[in-house]
Chain A
């Protein structure tokens, strides 16, 4: 292979990307070396098994991915602003919408939420870590190396260009030759391992490691949504794993599962993809619902309205999410009966979702609303999501969907639910739990600016797209006709508004790091209802010195009333904690090498990498490290200084 086949050549935008990647890498290496931070990086981060640090790494990576996906989005919006724009050609546009979709769903939305789950859930249920800390680190590194494998495609080998749905036969070896589509398959496969493991990990953690006497129906609602999400992950992700493996066999080893030749069944891919893909959208929306519930209840200073109904609504939505996948291709011609069944099951999801919306409104009734940035994101979610929801019901009406399908009406709908739902929740949750993570709040003033730019930009960007869709503009076209121009220009302006909002958000992070006041208490917002706020800030690595007995919802409200803390000095006992280990990082690095080899069909590299992974597994099998105990003295010292006693 020639070097010019290995690197992507001939595109000025990609050269710019290469230069910026090189500059960032060099400056990072320089920084780490100059300030002698290599040891710190390895000891504190690369080898950590602490759920809090892993959560923070997830979130930072997700923010980086949000930047990448956002740049993709703005390039698309630039190309679509005017007819006959020549900013991107067809091929480049195809690559960009493919990576935008994949990055945003797989490498932004999910990791962001998993990051928040990692940080928050063990604290909410009074656990000292997740059930399998080693596996948790493995999950993170598999996600990160999977994401890196996918992302390098745009400078090395070429990006995938068959859409994030990668429908066969288009995505097969015949019509999409070259490494691009392989990057998609192996990047997703690698990060999928981590997601599946995370699902198992949180299922066990929540079922087995709750604080003494905490019953299921006393768990905070975010923990509930995480538990249900874990179940969806465990049932849905194996389908993706199998589907990706089959397509990999097709493309690299000449199998004929989804091909036009050899009696392949290309349409089977669409079914398999959406049997995973529809539950997947609930994987990214249910935790968001959990976050909004926590934030609204906290800043309304009121107990959640209809807690049990909320829980059952989540469970019902999760169940229905496996029964609606055909609505992604009503137009495939399955017949009136099949479409009727899936139409009705789709619309039924609106019922529990509606119940949740009304319960949030019920929580606001007779409350004391404190308009902080976290609360503003949560409040903005309600009306925005309702627009996305009702248009979703319209799409669910199969016979009308024949006119909406594959158009900007659909694009507007899923951005309305995914941005107003998931992205608002990520911002809301991050702002809310930020002081617990970093020991200081995000600047509220900057936060409000970023909120208004992003939310107004969001509506300006996506509301017109409903109408341009009704005017017959299909999704994924790389250039528009003059009739669609006015609405598209508005949309582009909105997209850049969102970009400004994101930039202010990032600036707020840097600004607050320098100037924000450091937290003195654990209950940063002075309204904490759940156990995470009972811990001191910064949270000690063992989380809880003593575990409280829980006998009600909103455990911390009760603790405060009773004057108890999570540091009852006379009850302190030695705490058993897991040791740090570099194995997950190294194992997944070899996995990356192996995946990279498969992408270019260099079998020596693929097999070599896999052998190394196998060796790492053997090493792990003979690893008798039982962790260590934190002694009572050390706990008391840590707690006294953290609680300023």
Chain B
């Protein structure tokens, strides 16, 4: 048991080291540490900056702990009389030191934290060799358990996926038709809540082309796990092309169709050549009870969702429900 004891303590001392290795090893793989845009980059830099401080603290405490536990064991061979002082009750000098140092660390962490907090409220800054662009406004609205992305200027709307141009700030207008959710695209940046009856502004930007995973990260009921979407970040030309194709080819979104889609449940990807903002904006106080007034009964129904199922498995059912709701209207 004693050997294990010692082994364990050595292992504990190695823990911070393993943390460094894991962090550096996984650097390229862990989503949050693999930024594809300036916002995520800022956050990654801040996280790594803080990790150095944390590792310093961990190393200091672990080293002191290991020293104490090894040296002052009662039955350590070679213990001296002077190793025991039962009446020691404090030491002002050292107590001041270990109060002041953490305080300085807190200051060192606060400054960049506050700085980035104010930065993240604005569109990401443009790099020297690029010209400044107006942010692209996209309304990201959630309803149990799907995403609506409305492009008011382009007058198109997508469900459960979106396209964005690279190197242009995206100004997300976040709101929810029902429960509180959060828009999170780890490789592009942190999350923010979508809430009914109010609107949050959230800036993100992609500087590399690619398909990124996005999701609702705030629990909102049975379909939460499946409330994901994909972000297609593409060159401005490709993006413009996609916009005009959608404008030309996608059907118009009628209020009736929108109300059907709002009903709780899973749904596949869709695209439309108009937006629901024409008749309701869930980010306004007036839009807060729109969904609940129309689908009150359905919020209590279970889907009996299992892990291998996704939207497709519920399509037939959804169609049946559609007929029922048609009758209601």
**Physical interaction between A and B:** yes
Residues of A whose CB lies within 8 Å of any CB of B are 79, 83-86, 89-91, 94, 161-163, 167, 169-170, 174-178, 260-263, 266-267, 270, 300-309, 329, 331-333, 335-336, 339-340, 343-344, 347-348, 350-351, 354-355, 357-359, 361-362, 364-371, 379, 382-383, 386-387, 390-391, 393-394, 397-403, 405-407, 448, 452, 467, 470-472, 474-479
Whether A307 lies near B90 (C-beta < 8 A) is: yes
Q: A393-B109, A474-B215 are in contact. Are A354 and B98 (CB under 8 A)?
A: yes
Whether A362 lies near B61 (C-beta < 8 A) is: no
CB of B69 within 8 Å of the partner chain: yes
Whether B69 lies near A303 (C-beta < 8 A) is: no
Residue of A nearest to B74 (CB): A368
Whether A390 lies near B54 (C-beta < 8 A) is: yes
Residue of B nearest to A171 (CB): B179
CA distance A79 to B218 in the complex (A): 20
Whether A366 lies near B32 (C-beta < 8 A) is: no
Whether A175 lies near B72 (C-beta < 8 A) is: no
Return chain B residues, CB-CB under 8 Å to A452: 4, 8
Return chain B residues, CB-CB under 8 Å to A397: 46, 50, 109, 113
- B215 CB to nearest chain A CB (Å): 7
Residue of B nearest to A475 (CB): B219
Whether B192 lies near A402 (C-beta < 8 A) is: yes
Return chain A residues, CB-CB under 8 Å to B30: 467, 470-472
Return chain A residues, CB-CB under 8 Å to B195: 266-267, 332
CB of B22 within 8 Å of the partner chain: yes
Return chain A residues, CB-CB under 8 Å to B224: 90, 94, 476-477
Whether A91 lies near B69 (C-beta < 8 A) is: no
CA distance A97 to B42 in the complex (A): 33
CB of B47 within 8 Å of the partner chain: yes
| Chain B count of residues within 8 A CB distance of the other chain | 106
CB of B313 within 8 Å of the partner chain: no
Residue of A nearest to B33 (CB): A470
Return chain B residues, CB-CB under 8 Å to A379: 65, 69
Whether B289 lies near A261 (C-beta < 8 A) is: yes
Residue of A nearest to B114 (CB): A340
Return chain A residues, CB-CB under 8 Å to B182: 331, 405-406
Whether B91 lies near A362 (C-beta < 8 A) is: yes
Q: A169-B179, A333-B193, A472-B31 are in contact. Are A400 and B305 (CB under 8 A)?
A: no
Residue of B nearest to A178 (CB): B300
- A82 CB to nearest chain B CB (Å): 9
Return chain B residues, CB-CB under 8 Å to A406: 182, 184, 191, 217-219
In the A-B complex, the 5 residue pairs with the smallest Cβ-Cβ separation, listed nearest first, are: A402-B190, A479-B307, A472-B31, A364-B68, A390-B54
- B220 CB to nearest chain A CB (Å): 6
Provide the B37-64 mask, 1 if CB < 8 A to any CB of A, else 0.
0001011001100110010011001101
Residue of A nearest to B106 (CB): A347
Residue of A nearest to B26 (CB): A467
Given contacts A303-B89, A364-B72, 13 further A-B contacts (CB under 8 A): A91-B222, A170-B179, A170-B180, A261-B293, A351-B106, A362-B90, A362-B94, A365-B88, A371-B5, A386-B62, A393-B50, A397-B113, A400-B46
Whether A402 lies near B43 (C-beta < 8 A) is: yes
CB of B308 within 8 Å of the partner chain: yes
Q: A170-B220, A362-B91, A403-B186 are in contact. Are A302 and B86 (CB under 8 A)?
A: yes
